[in-house]
Amino acid sequence: MMLMNYGDSGIKLDMITPAQSRAARALINWSQPELASASGASISTIRDFETGKRSPIANNMAAIRNALEEAGVIFVAENGEGPGVRLRKQE
């Protein structure tokens, strides 16, 4: 069973890394503006997150992750080899 981490806002805080975000966008061929549009986060939030300048606030992080997951991305947790991403199997 995986325990979820919830912040004060009650939003699931399963953090993704900047590298996972970049890799996820590459898998689905999305630009930063496309991710911003799908998530509702600003382009500068996406850019600053993916370059490591700052971490998004909890609701933006959740929106970014959710947008990528809805587009077919699966986030792979740290398993000794590092976190990663893959595409969900097409049905």
Write down the pLDDT at residue 61.
Answer: 96
Q: Which of 26, 59, 58, 32 is nearest to 46 (CA)?
A: 32
Do the beta carbons of residue 36 and residue 42 sit within 8 Å?
yes
| Mean pLDDT confidence for 46-54 | 97
34 domain-assigned: yes
DSSP letter at 85 equals E
Average confidence score pLDDT of the chain: 86
10 domain-assigned: no
Instruction: State the total domains in the chain.
Output: 1
9 domain-assigned: no
**What digits encode the pLDDT tens for the residues 3-42?**
334 344 444 446 899 999 999 999 999 999 999 999 999 9
50 domain-assigned: yes
Do the beta carbons of residue 49 and residue 56 sit within 8 Å?
yes
